[in-house]
Amino acid sequence: MKYASASNPSIDGKVPHLRISKEQIGDVVLLPGDPGRVKLFYDLCDDFEILSENREYTVGTGFYRGKKISVCSTGIGAPSTEIAVIQLISLGVKGLIRIGGTGVLKEEIPCGSYVINTGAMRRGGSSIFYAPPEYPAVASLEITNALIDACRENGVEYTTGICASVGSFYHGQGRALPFETGYDEAAEIERYRKLNILNLEMEAETILTLSSLYQVHAGSICSVHCNRITDEWLVDNLESQVNLCKTALSGASKFLEASHAW
């Protein structure tokens, strides 16, 4: 039998869940939720290679505009995201950028556009073990500006604001269960709207909180998959996701270029 430390496991020099080592990873890592989205980067990067596939984690690395950038799926929600973020930080990454889908709470924001979150309401769950609820989940100014510049460069429509990261897809985000009657969806959505919450998602606050605590730059850019006010869900979102990945790569590249001057 072979054993590793139960407190801080390492398997053949690699972190246990992501199954990668320090030399395999770029300084910036893009974080989609869906493992399948990692493979979109084969056509977007030079020399892109899948390094590991384990549970909800698929990790790949390639080059964009000559810069080494990695992609690591987080799975859905805070607990699996916590594992990915902590293990990536332990490998010495300098920047983390969430890329994913989100639902907006403003009627005028169309599906297929993008949201860059400057901060997040902490309702995910896992980050509470690291910092009290009063500790803010805020995005790095440097990465946020790089993502805004990338959106402008690529001519894509974007909105900035605060999201709510919620450890629930149904009631926590104001959705009735398929077999439930009498649940007031509108009341839950209205509670978020009164706080001027721009969008709902499930991972950003974990990434932002942990990155701030451990001095890593982090940001979040998401494609609008649904509008909860107009009750529209974008069924075919592949084009939007590919454009999101391109924009995030551009933002990561701009962040790395700027970081050389620090």
pLDDT digits (tens, 9 = 90+) for 153-201: 999 999 999 999 999 999 999 999 999 888 999 999 999 999 999 999 9
pLDDT-derived band at 19 (thresholds 50, 70, 90) equals: very high
Q: Is 113 helix (H, G, I), strand (E, B) or coil?
A: coil
Instruction: List, in order of start, the domains of the chain with CATH numbers.
Output: 22-259 (3.40.50.1580)
> Distance between CA 167 and CA 203 in Å, rounded?
8
Single out the residue of 48, 55, 54 nearest to residue 30, CA to CA.
48
> Distance between CA 58 and CA 56 in Å, rounded?
7
Q: Residue 261: its pLDDT value, please?
A: 45
pLDDT digits (tens, 9 = 90+) for 90-146: 999 999 999 999 999 999 999 999 999 999 999 999 999 999 999 999 999 999 999
Q: Around 172, how many Cα atoms within 13 Å sit in the side-chain half-sphere?
A: 16
Q: Residue 231: its pLDDT value, please?
A: 96
Residue 237 pLDDT > 80: yes
Single out the residue of 171, 187, 78 nearest to residue 122, CA to CA.
78
Residue 81 pLDDT > 60: yes
